[in-house]
């Protein structure tokens, strides 16, 4: 066999052996490795030698004799190293990252000396903050307000034609019974730190996030359509009813659905109203023309102008699954999410990287300190809690 081929084969077999040692071979690769080992006594001995721990350590010690950086500098200083002057097309950063990351990991990122990072002062909070919980306020057509919390049935049920029960997970569910004669208009609203689940008589379910409200009509299908009004954020799981399109009205848009699952974020302190479709089909109207959404897409409505983009469903519906998912979102957005659940006021110090993207995920049932520690572990910001004020500093 030609030298070139021999070397390529040796490289290939090395991958199998290292893959074995790192525990990442699939069945086919394992079979190939076993076959190679059994081919000859020489292969068997070689395999054992390669896997021997002290051999590996000794060999690794030899690696540290060589200085990569000065070598690289030396090569670049060589007169034969001619920099190429042609214009280089700028590849998108993500593609490049994926390419290199893939190579990095398939070939291996070498061990370099530890970097001594500056140590952040230990986190000490004045007080901690409990997470939000299930709760809401019902405002009847006549203006009367009723707190919904641990309230059972009885009078409440009579008044508003509703039934309140608890799901297995302890969530309070507010089921509207279609029994009242008048088509009363009721509003259920959550304050900061509250969330609620609502069931409509047609079988649709709506989850309300903190600081939000949903206005509905007791006779849901009045006028040939099912119409509700949303302020804040809601996750909708709408029962199919071809005869009665479901309409969610917010200040700047209307979303028409037949039967589907979607999330609408219309908080006033966010720049745009975001409608994310998980399943089914919806049309978003800001004005007379409707924008059709497909599953996995999001309509971003900025002052009546709608743009459709691909959506990260997990990130958008994290709250409904009782989690905070903070990947690929900037610091300010993530902190606004957190503030609504813990009922906080955020105060930013100078020099805080507001647009930095953070990451991580944590249950919404955690105390505030746990969430903050997760963000602090990235090393970008430092928090201080004082009562209901969250101070963010560099």
Q: What are phi and psi of 57, to 5 degrees?
A: -65, -45
Using CB under 8 A as the binding rule, whether residue 28 contacts other proteins is answered as no
Q: Which residues inside 115-134 make contact with other proteins, applying CB under 8 A?
A: 115, 117
Strand partners, 292: 283
Q: Which residues inside 43-72 make contact with other proteins, applying CB under 8 A?
A: 46, 49-50, 55-56, 59-60, 62-63, 65-66, 68-69, 71-72
State how far the Cα of 280 lies from the Cα of 294, in Å rounded to an integer. Answer: 7
Using CB under 8 A as the binding rule, whether residue 114 contacts other proteins is answered as yes
Using CB under 8 A as the binding rule, whether residue 93 contacts other proteins is answered as yes
Instruction: For the chain, report the end-to-end CA distance as a whole number of angstroms.
Output: 62
Cα torsion angle, 217, 222, 223, 224, sign: positive
Q: Which of 26, 27, 105, 124 binds other proteins (CB under 8 A)?
A: 105
Least CB distance from residue 85 to other proteins, whole Å? 8
| Nearer residue to other proteins within complex by CB, 118 or 268 | 118
Interface segment toward other proteins; rule CB under 8 A; list 30-38, 102-110, 126-134, 285-293: 102-110
Q: How far is CA 89 from CA 93, 97, 152, 187, in A?
A: 12, 15, 66, 56
| Nearer residue to other proteins within complex by CB, 31 or 356 | 356
| Nearer residue to other proteins within complex by CB, 296 or 303 | 296
| Nearer residue to other proteins within complex by CB, 117 or 268 | 117
Residue 9: helix, strand or coil by DSSP? helix
Using CB under 8 A as the binding rule, whether residue 97 contacts other proteins is answered as yes
Q: 43: which 2 tokens?
A: 């292969």
Least CB distance from residue 386 to other proteins, whole Å? 26
Residue 60: helix, strand or coil by DSSP? helix
State how far the Cα of 302 lies from the Cα of 282, in Å rounded to an integer. Answer: 18
Using CB under 8 A as the binding rule, whether residue 314 contacts other proteins is answered as yes
Eight-class DSSP state of 259? S
State how far the Cα of 340 lies from the Cα of 135, in Å rounded to an integer. Answer: 14
Q: Are 266 and 273 in contact (CB under 8 A)?
A: yes
| Nearer residue to other proteins within complex by CB, 178 or 279 | 279
Total number of residues that touch other proteins (CB under 8 A)? 89
Q: Which of 109, 119, 124, 310 binds other proteins (CB under 8 A)?
A: 109
Q: Which residues inside 326-365 make contact with other proteins, applying CB under 8 A?
A: 326-327, 353, 356-363
State how far the Cα of 361 lies from the Cα of 334, in Å rounded to an integer. Answer: 11
| Nearer residue to other proteins within complex by CB, 18 or 221 | 18
Q: Which of 27, 28, 41, 113 binds other proteins (CB under 8 A)?
A: 113
State how far the Cα of 264 lies from the Cα of 273, in Å rounded to an integer. Answer: 7
Q: Give the other-Cβ count within 10 Å of 375's Cβ.
A: 23
> Which residues contact residue 306 at a Cβ distance below 8 angstroms, ignoring those fewer than 6 apart?
253, 284, 286, 291, 299, 300
Least CB distance from residue 13 to other proteins, whole Å? 6
Q: Which residues inside 67-86 make contact with other proteins, applying CB under 8 A?
A: 68-69, 71-72, 74-75, 78, 80-86
State the residue for tokens 């080992």.
37
Rounded to 5, what percent of the chain is helix, strand, coil?
30, 30, 40
Q: Are 330 and 356 in contact (CB under 8 A)?
A: yes
Cα torsion angle, 351, 353, 359, 365, sign: positive
| Nearer residue to other proteins within complex by CB, 85 or 268 | 85
| Nearer residue to other proteins within complex by CB, 112 or 143 | 112
Q: 169: which 2 tokens?
A: 């997970």
Least CB distance from residue 385 to other proteins, whole Å? 22
Using CB under 8 A as the binding rule, whether residue 296 contacts other proteins is answered as no
| Nearer residue to other proteins within complex by CB, 220 or 325 | 325
Using CB under 8 A as the binding rule, whether residue 100 contacts other proteins is answered as yes
Q: Which residues inside 374-393 make contact with other proteins, applying CB under 8 A?
A: 374, 377-380
Using CB under 8 A as the binding rule, whether residue 24 contacts other proteins is answered as yes
| Nearer residue to other proteins within complex by CB, 74 or 354 | 74
């Amino acid at each position: 066999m030609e030298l070139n081929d021999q070397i390529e084969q040796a490289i290939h077999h090395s991958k199998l052996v290292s893959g074995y040692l790192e525990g990442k071979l699939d069945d086919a690769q394992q079979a190939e490795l076993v076959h190679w080992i059994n081919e000859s006594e020489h292969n068997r001995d070689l395999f054992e030698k390669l896997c021997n721990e002290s051999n590996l350590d000794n060999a690794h010690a030899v690696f540290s004799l060589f200085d990569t950086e000065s070598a690289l500098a030396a090569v670049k200083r060589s007169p034969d190293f001619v920099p190429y002057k042609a214009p280089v097309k700028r590849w998108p950063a993500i593609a490049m990252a994926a390419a290199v990351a893939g190579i990095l990991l398939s070939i291996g990122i070498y061990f370099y000396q530890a970097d001594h990072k500056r140590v952040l002062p230990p986190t000490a909070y004045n007080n901690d903050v409990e997470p939000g919980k299930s709760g809401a306020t019902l405002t009847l057509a006549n203006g009367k307000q009723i707190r919904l919390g641990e309230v059972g049935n009885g009078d409440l049920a009579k008044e508003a034609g509703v039934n309140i029960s608890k799901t297995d997970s302890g969530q309070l569910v507010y089921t509207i019974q279609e029994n009242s004669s008048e088509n009363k208009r009721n509003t259920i609203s959550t304050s900061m730190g509250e969330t609620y689940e609502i069931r409509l008589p047609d079988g649709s379910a709506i989850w309300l996030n903190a600081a939000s409200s949903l206005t509905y009509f007791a006779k849901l299908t009045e006028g040939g359509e099912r119409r509700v009004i949303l302020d804040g954020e809601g996750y909708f799981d709408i029962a199919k009813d071809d005869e009665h399109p479901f309409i969610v009205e917010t200040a700047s848009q209307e979303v028409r659905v037949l039967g589907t699952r979607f999330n609408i974020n219309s908080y006033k302190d966010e720049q745009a109203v975001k409608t994310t479709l998980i399943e089914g089909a919806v049309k978003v109207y800001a004005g007379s023309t409707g924008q059709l959404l497909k599953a996995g897409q999001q309509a971003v409505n900025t002052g009546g102008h709608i743009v459709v983009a691909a959506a990260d469903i997990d990130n958008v519906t994290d709250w409904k699954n009782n989690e905070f998912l903070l990947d690929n979102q900037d610091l300010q957005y993530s902190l606004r999410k957190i503030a609504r659940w813990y009922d906080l006021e955020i105060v930013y110090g100078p020099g805080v990287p507001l647009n930095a993207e953070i990451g991580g995920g944590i249950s919404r049932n955690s105390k505030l300190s746990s969430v903050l520690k997760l963000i602090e572990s990235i090393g970008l910001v430092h928090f201080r809690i004082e009562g209901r004020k969250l101070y963010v500093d560099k």
